[in-house]
């Protein structure tokens, strides 16, 4: 194999000659040249140790705030996520709508945005809770949860009703409206 460029490396059957923003490849078995643009490398200025430390501290503070918010049971503005070892409060004149779910459950993850959207629309009318059955097995047993996602409706007088399985937002909104009236 004849090398057309003495200082260029040979990779397989191609001889490569690199230029700042172009790359020219000459095929050793033929006489034609192939050219293509190569993206220029953008060099970013390095951060000082103080800047990196400040960014790390900010990220840690944000993570701690998020963790504290989740531990306090605040998932969205309208849905209260029960923390581990936390119990459901007694019914206080408002209906309670409880979503029993699990992190490993695909339909539960699909249903969660629908539950949150309906909860935000009905925030003043009922209390919306999200309960992970793996963290609260006693609650799941107390309310006879056999399949998830399961939504439990508890009226102010203590009567219960439930639905099991995924529902789209409009269907779930209609079910909630029927239970709130």
Burial of 118 (0-12, 13-18, 19+ CB in 10 A): buried
Q: Among all residues, which ones are annotated catalytic?
A: 105, 108
Report residue 167 as tokens: 């529902």
Query: Could you tell me which residues are beta bridge partners of residue 25?
Result: 16, 34
Query: Could you tell me which residues are beta bridge partners of residue 129?
Result: 80, 98
The full DSSP string for 83-121 is PTT--PPPP-SS-EEEEEE-TT-HHHHHHHHHHHHHHHH
């Amino acid at each position: 194999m004849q090398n057309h460029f003495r200082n260029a490396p040979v990779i397989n059957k191609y001889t490569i000659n690199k230029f700042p923003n172009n790359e020219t490849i000459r095929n050793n078995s033929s006489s034609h040249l192939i050219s293509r643009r190569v993206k220029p490398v953008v060099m970013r200025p390095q951060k000082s140790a103080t800047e990196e430390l400040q960014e790390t501290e900010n990220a840690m503070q944000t993570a701690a705030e998020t963790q504290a918010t989740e531990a306090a049971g605040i998932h969205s503005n309208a849905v209260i996520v029960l923390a581990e070892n936390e119990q459901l409060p007694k019914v206080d004149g408002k209906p309670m709508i409880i979503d029993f779910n699990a992190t490993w459950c695909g339909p539960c993850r699909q249903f969660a945005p629908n539950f949150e959207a309906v909860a935000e629309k009905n925030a003043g009318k009922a209390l919306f809770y999200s309960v992970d059955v793996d963290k609260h097995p006693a609650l799941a047993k107390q309310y006879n949860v056999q399949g998830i996602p399961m939504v439990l409706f508890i009226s102010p007088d203590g009567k219960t009703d439930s639905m099991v399985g995924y529902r789209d937002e409009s269907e779930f909104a209609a079910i909630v409206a029927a239970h709130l009236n």
